[in-house]
Structure formats: C-alpha cells, structure tokens
Amino acid sequence: MLDQIVFYFFATLAVISAVLVVTRRNVVQSAIFLITALLATAGIFLQLHAEFLFIVQVILYAGGIMVLFVFVIMLINMDVSLHQVQFNRQWWLGLLLALVLGAQLKVAIAMGRAGLPLGEPAPATALEPSTQLVGRVLFSEYMLPFEIASILLLVAMIGAVVMAKKKV
C-alpha cells in the first residue's frame, strides 16, 4: 500500500516536472523543474530498493550536472531569449513523430507484458546491501568499462576546459 502511494507520487511528480521542463519560457525555471524531475527519479530508484543508485543520482545528477547547467545558464544569460519564439517552425511535425514513436513503444510494451514475469520476481533482499553488491560487481566483472569510463571523464574534462577557455 505504501509502495503504491510512493510510486504514484514520484511518478506523477516526474511526469509533471518533465512536461514543465520542455514548455517553460524561462530557462532557469526549466532547470529548476529538471532538478525536480531528477529528484523524483531518485525517489523511484529508492522505491525499487536501489539505494546506492538513489544516492548516486542525487549527488551526481542533481548535485553535479544540474549545478553545471545552472552555472552556464547564469553566465550566458540573455534577457532577449525571454521574448523570442520558443518553438521551432516544424513543431507540429516533431510532435507528431514523437507521439508516433511513443505509441509504437507503448504497443510493444503492452504486447510483451505477458512475457515479463520470467518466473517469480526476485525478492528485494537480492538487491541488498546495495552498495556492497554494486561495488563487488563493478570492480570485478566490469573493471574494464570502469577504467574506460574514467578515461572518458578525463577526456571530457580536458575537452570542456579547452572549449570554454578564452584563448587556447
């Protein structure tokens, strides 16, 4: 019962925030609603017994990436952008195609829904303690992707610094 309340609360919050992200005129308000959407997603992770991922989402996404976004928005703020046209000229075509994509995926999920159970859904205790299990798997089986991800981050850092410098 509590499960359902939590899930529907966070799901509604996520969807409403997402709609507000793509429709606000003011970029700062969009950023704030994206933060809300990310925190709602973190809530869904918590409800799915993914505690480590919940806290990683809060720290990295909401507390890291969004701070970066907000910094950049404030540094290159343009008051002019509040009075420009917000949606491009082919918005109706884009909307139509996106809805067609959505409908396709919905049909796919609905048709495959019967095949989902795959036997008994696993008990929640299989995922606890979340941090230890993720750490163990990350540093044994997925060590190579981990190292590649660290190199990727290094490259991204260098790239971002070089891109944003005044004189190279």
Partner 1 sequence: MNGLIEFVKPILVPLICAVVIVAVLPLVAGYIVLMERKVMADMQARLGPMRVGPHGLLQPIADAVKLLLKEDIIPDEADKGIFWIAPLISVTAGMLAMSALAIGPWFQIADLNVGLLFVVGIGALGIFGIVLGGWSSNSHYSLLGALRSAAQLVSYETAAGMAIVGALLLAGTLSTREIIEAQGDYGVWFVFAAPVGFFIYVVASIAETNRAPFDLPEAESELVAGYMTEYSGFRWALYFLAEYTNMVVVASIATTLFLGGWLRPFAGTRAFDFLDFIPSLLMLGVAGYCFYRVPKQPVKIQQTVLAAVGVLLILVAGILAAPLVAPAGSMVASAKAGLHGAFWFLLKVGLYLYLFMWLRFTFPRYRFDQLMRLGWQFLIPLSIVNVMGIGLALVLHRQLGWSHWTAFPLTTVLTLAVAGVLASAGEKKEKEHAIMGEEA
Partner 2 sequence: MIPTSHYLFLSLGLFTIGVIGVVTRRNVIIILMSIELMLNAVNINLVAFSRLVGSVEGHVFAIFVITDAAAEAAVGLGIIIAFFRNRETLLGDEMDLLKW
Where do contacts with partner 1 occur on this chain (CB under 8 A)?
Answer: 26, 28-29, 32, 35, 51-52, 54-55, 58-59, 62-64, 66-67, 70-71, 74-75, 128-131
The 112-131 contact track toward partner 2, x by CB under 8 A, reads -x--x-x--xxxx-xx--x-
Q: How far is the CB of 7 from partner 2 (least distance, A)?
A: 5
Q: Please tell me whether residue 74 binds partner 2 under the rule CB under 8 A.
A: no
Of residues 2, 63, 79, 161, which one binds partner 2 by CB under 8 A?
Answer: 161
Q: How far is the CB of 34 from partner 1 (least distance, A)?
A: 12
Cβ neighbours of 37 (radius 10 Å): 21
Contact 27, 69 (CB under 8 A): no
Q: How far is the CB of 22 from partner 1 (least distance, A)?
A: 19
Contact 34, 67 (CB under 8 A): no
Long-range contacts, stretch 27-34, CB < 8 angstroms, 24+ apart:
27/73, 27/81, 28/70, 28/73, 28/74, 31/66, 31/69, 31/70, 31/73, 34/66, 34/69
Q: How far is the CB of 154 from partner 2 (least distance, A)?
A: 9
